[in-house]
Amino acid sequence: MCINYICTECGKKYDPKTLVFRCDCGGLFNLEKPDLKFSNEDILNNEWSLFRYIKTLPFNNDFDLWKDITMGEGLTPIVPLEKKNPNLLVKVDYSMPTLSFKDRGAAVLIAKAKELGVNKVIQDSSGNAGTSIAAYASRAGIECDIYVPEGTSSKKIKQISSHGANVHIVKGTREDTASAALNAVENGEGFYASHVYNPFFYEGTKTYAYEIYEQLGGEMPQAVVIPVGNGTLLLGCYYGFKELFNLGLIEKIPKIIAVQAEDCAPIYKAFNEGKQSVNEVTNAGTLAEGIAIAKPMRGKQILEAVRATKGEIITAPENKIIETRKYLAEKGFYVEPTTAATFAGFFNYYNENNHKLTGKILLPLCGAGLKKD
Ligand SMILES: *Cc1c(COP(=O)(O)O)cnc(C)c1O
Ligand SMILES: [Zn+2]
C-alpha cells in the first residue's frame, strides 16, 4: 500500500520512512492513502480487538507484526447509561488495557513505528496518551521517553514509569511540555510518537466509528458527543464516519457535538465566532485536565470536521464536573473528571435542547476513575 504524509498547509508529500514529523513549512501531516475497499465481509470476525478492521488500517496485506503488539484494545461495550432513556448510549472506552481510549491510537501508531524500524519513541501528554504509548512501546520492545507537565496525576506518572518509560516532568504549561518533547525530537533523540502530530494515531482512533457501525448494526446514532482537547478521538471518529459514508455503508454522518472545558475553550470560542482557525487561550485552571489544551494544533481541522457534520461545540460547566462524576458512579461507571466533564456539558445542552435530539445519542466513557484521586 502506498501511503504518504501530506502537509495540511502546502500539500507537500513525504514518505513515512523518512521519519519526519512535520513539513519543512511547519505544517502538520495528514495521510494520503489509496481508495479504501471494505465491506462487512472484510471484518476479521475471530479477531477480538480493533485489528478486526485491519483492512481499513494503513498496513500492507502481508503485515502481521500487529499480532505481537495488540492487547485486545477496542471492541468496547455500548450500553444505555440508564434504563429510563434507552436512546442515551455510552461506549465504555475506558475498558482498555491502559484504561483510556488512547490505546486505540497507540496500538496502531506503535505497530507502524515497529514496521518503520523505529527503536526509540518520544511523546508528550497530559497523562493518558503517554501511558498508552509507554505500554505499547514496551510491549513492542521500543525504548520510550514521555514528557508530562508538572501537576499531572501521580497515578498516571506511576503508570507510565511502570512500563519502563523515562518520564520527564516539565515545569510550566502543557505547551511548555510539548516544546520540551519537540526539542528532544529535533535533537535526533527518537521518533515523535505524538498523538497530535502523527497521523497514524488517528487511524487507530477511527476504529471508534467502525465499532459504532458494527455494534449498532449500521443504525448510526443521530449524534455523537465527544470531548475535545487536541481532537484525537474527534478527528479519528470523523475520519471513520467519512470512510463508512464514502463506502456507502452508512447513509448519513452523525452530528458531532464536541465538548470543551469552560475554563479552557479555544475551539468553542473560534466555532462560535465563526472563525476558520483557533487562537490560543489561557487555561484558567479547569478540572478537566485531559482536555485542557490552550493551543490545539489541529484546531482548524476540528472546526472543519464539526461544521461538516452540522454539529456543535459546547462547554462543560466547571461547577458541575464533580457532581456529574458522582452521578456516573451511581450508574456504575467510575470515571476520571475529564470524562465527567463531557457528560456535564452534554446534560446542560440536552436539558436546554431536549426537543432537538430525538434519535440515539452516544457518549464515550474515555478515562477510568482510578487514574485520578
Ligand atoms: C485524551 C483524552 C481526552 C481528549 O482527547 P483529545 O485528543 O485531547 O481531544 C478526553 N478524555 C480523556 C480521558 C483523555 O484521555
Ligand atoms: Zn508544508
> What is the predicted pLDDT for the residue at 333?
98
Mean pLDDT over 302-325 rounds to: 98
d(CA 144, CA 186): 16
Contact 91, 365 (CB under 8 A): yes
- Given a cut of 80, is residue 322 above it in pLDDT? yes
Q: Give 27 Cα–ligand 2 centroid separation in angstroms.
A: 5
Model pLDDT, residue 339 = 97
Closest to 228 measured CA to CA, from 198, 271, 185, 166: 271
Q: How confident is the model at residue 354 (pLDDT cuts 50, 70, 90)?
A: low
Return the ligand 1 atom nearest residue 127 CA: 15
Beta strands 255-261 and 143-149 are unpaired
SS3 track for the chain: CCCEEEECCCCCEECHHHCCCCCCCCCCEEEECCCCCCCHHHCCCCCCCHHHHHHHCCCCCCCCCHHHHCCCCCCCCEEECCCCCCCEEEECCCCCCCCECHHHHHHHHHHHHHHCCCCEEEEECCCHHHHHHHHHHHHHCCEEEEEEECCCCHHHHHHHHHCCCEEEEECCCHHHHHHHHHHHHHCCCCEECCCCCCCHHHHHHCHHHHHHHHHCCCCCCCEEEEECCCCHHHHHHHHHHHHHHHCCCCCCCCEEEEEEECCECHHHHHHHCCCCCCCCCCCCCCCCHHHCCCCCCCHHHHHHHHHHCCCEEEEECHHHHHHHHHHHHHCCCCECHHHHHHHHHHHHHHHHHHHHCCCCEEEECCEEHHHCC
Q: What is the pLDDT of residues 246-269, one digit of tens each?
A: 999 999 999 999 999 999 999 999
Nearest C-alpha neighbor of 15 from the set 28, 31, 26: 31
Could you read off the pLDDT of 205-235 as tens digits, one per residue?
A: 999 999 999 999 989 999 999 999 999 999 9
Confidence of residue 369 (pLDDT cuts 50, 70, 90): very high
| Amino acid residing at 197 | Y
Q: Please tell me the predicted confidence (pLDDT) of residue 155.
A: 87
User: Would you state the pLDDT for residue 298?
Assistant: 97
Q: Which chain residues have CB less than 5 Å from ligand 2, an ion?
A: 7, 9-10, 12, 23, 25, 27
Asked if the model's pLDDT at residue 351 lies above 90, the reply is no
Q: What is the pLDDT of residues 259-301, one digit of tens each?
A: 999 999 999 999 999 999 999 999 999 999 889 999 999 999 9
Examine the pLDDT at 143 and tell me if it is beyond 90: yes
Q: How far apart are the first and last CA of the chain?
A: 45
Q: Average pLDDT of 16-32?
A: 96
What spacing in Å lies between the alpha carbon of 102 and ligand 1's midpoint? Answer: 8
Q: All 3 cell numbers of residue 81?
A: 447509561
C-alpha to C-alpha distance for 259 and 316, rounded to whole angstroms: 7
Atom of ligand 1 nearest to the CA of 196: 7
Within 6 A (CB) of ligand 1 lie 100, 102, 128-129, 227-234, 290-291, 293, 336, 338-339, 366-367
CA–CA distance, 48 with 315 (Å, rounded to integer): 35
Smallest-distance ligand from the CA of 12? 2
Q: How far is the CA of 62 from the centre of ligand 1 (A)?
A: 32
What are the pLDDT digits (tens) for 108-117? 999 999 999 9
For a ligand 1 pocket test, name from 159, 228, 343 the mutation site with the most ligand atoms within 8 angstroms of its C-beta.
228
Beta bridge partners of 186: none
CA of 23 to the centre of ligand 2 (A): 5
* CA of 14, nearest ligand number: 2
Mean pLDDT of the chain: 95
> What pTM was estimated for this model as a whole?
0.97
Give the pLDDT of residue 356. 64
The answer to whether the Cα torsion of 96, 138, 126, 272 is positive or negative is negative
